[in-house]
Structure 1
């Protein structure tokens, strides 16, 4: 019996650790789901005026702004399931209070890239946003073609001569000039903890199987 004790204890402890990690990931999945629900409730809350002081702690904060686009815009390469490839349009926007900010107006298809979009008065409901889209593999903007490959609030604000404040439109009143809003959502925020839990539980099953196989081999040698 002593021959089995070491492998058995090793197997039990290993399985217990792996199962505990799986349970922890299930708890993390529940926590992340609650966090995402809170974010969505914040996104869907009634919009208010643009705060005087804006910083990333106000990410997703719903606002209403009225003003006029400047005619200056940056194109961010992207696409939608419905329309295929195209561009996000980020415009300079001067509010009725005189603040020059940035407005993510939404999407245009490829063939509307060069369509004229002169200054126009708009009333916009949307959300403040600081997209986390840039990384080491993100190409630098093609300034000659005015094409960007990710939204980068500080760099785009400098290019448009605006405050580093980005409002992503969800509803536009006025001449949208063929631009379709893409509201902020939680779809791009991952919650992979359930998958991690399945992996840990799967490893626990494998560990238990390996332990059983080892004990069986020890028993076979005995005979």
Structure 2
């Protein structure tokens, strides 16, 4: 018994820690799914008026319906879209019927379409407010002179297009722009790897128990020998 006491203790302790980590990740998964469900509910909710006082934490993803005119000038943000490749997210200025100027993310166009004229004039637009966090430590600095942006920096874009620092991500425009595909906000870009982490911890616990079993078996065989 003394010979297998150490592997029993180490095996139980290690497996317990790994199982606890897996269970914790499952709890995190339930928490993240709840948050994603809340965000999806907000995204699909009824349109609200453009806010006068801006509160990004409370108004993120808020649906809006705008009528007014979209202007020709566009800022081009370099992106890569799955199954489509490299291209541009186009951010333009939008003048509402009551005279407010805001930013509108029209959507995606292929990388070779940068010089294609953009649709302008009166439109009805459905979309969501957003404060994107595109910039990381490895993101290059924007090059406004070449109209090449690497992040949707709302403050700099608003200054460039003389708008309020308020961005609407278009979900639908009427009439549509034939050269631009809307990229509505959704939860697909929000990381949710907790299930993968949980499975990893549970598999490690199984391997740990297997190795503990082998250790005990060898210890008993050694005793018999």
TM norm structure 1: 0.90
How far apart, CA to CA, are the structure 2 residues paired with 1:146 and 1:164?
Answer: 18
In the other structure, the counterpart of 1:13 is 13
In the other structure, the counterpart of 2:218 is 217
Residues 25 and 183 of structure 1: CA distance in aligned 2, closer, same or farther (over 3 Å): same
The equivalences for 1:121-136 within 5 A come to 121-136=122-137
| CA RMSD, Structure 1 to Structure 2 (Å) | 2.0
Cα deviation, residue 80, structure 1? 4.0
Cα deviation, residue 175, structure 1? 5.7
Cα deviation, residue 189, structure 1? 1.1
Q: Contact 1:25 / 1:197 at 8 angstroms: preserved in 2?
A: yes
How far apart, CA to CA, are the structure 1 residues paired with 2:110 and 2:5?
Answer: 68
Cα deviation, residue 76, structure 1? 1.0
Q: For 1:88, what is the secondary structure of its paired residue? A: strand
State yes or no: 1:49 paired with 2:49: yes
How far apart, CA to CA, are the structure 1 residues paired with 2:83 and 2:122?
Answer: 27
Gaps spanning 5+ residues in structure 2: where?
none
Gaps spanning 5+ residues in structure 1: where?
none
How far apart, CA to CA, are the structure 1 residues paired with 2:83 and 2:137?
Answer: 29
Paired residues in the alignment total: 223
Cα deviation, residue 79, structure 1? 4.4
Q: For 2:144, what is the secondary structure of its paired residue? A: coil
Q: Contact 2:118 / 2:177 at 8 angstroms: preserved in 1?
A: no
How far apart, CA to CA, are the structure 1 residues paired with 2:54 and 2:96?
Answer: 15
The equivalences for 1:28-67 within 5 A come to 28-57=28-57, 58-67=59-68
Cα deviation, residue 106, structure 1? 1.2
Q: Contact 1:120 / 1:175 at 8 angstroms: preserved in 2?
A: no
- Which has the higher mean CA deviation after the structures are superposed, 128-137 or 144-153? 144-153
Q: Contact 1:121 / 1:175 at 8 angstroms: preserved in 2?
A: no
Q: Contact 1:15 / 1:208 at 8 angstroms: preserved in 2?
A: yes
The equivalences for 1:87-166 within 5 A come to 87-117=88-118, 119-166=120-167
In the other structure, the counterpart of 2:3 is 3
Cα deviation, residue 166, structure 1? 0.4
TM norm structure 2: 0.90
Q: Contact 2:62 / 2:128 at 8 angstroms: preserved in 1?
A: yes
How far apart, CA to CA, are the structure 2 residues paired with 1:81 and 1:106?
Answer: 14
Cα deviation, residue 108, structure 1? 2.0
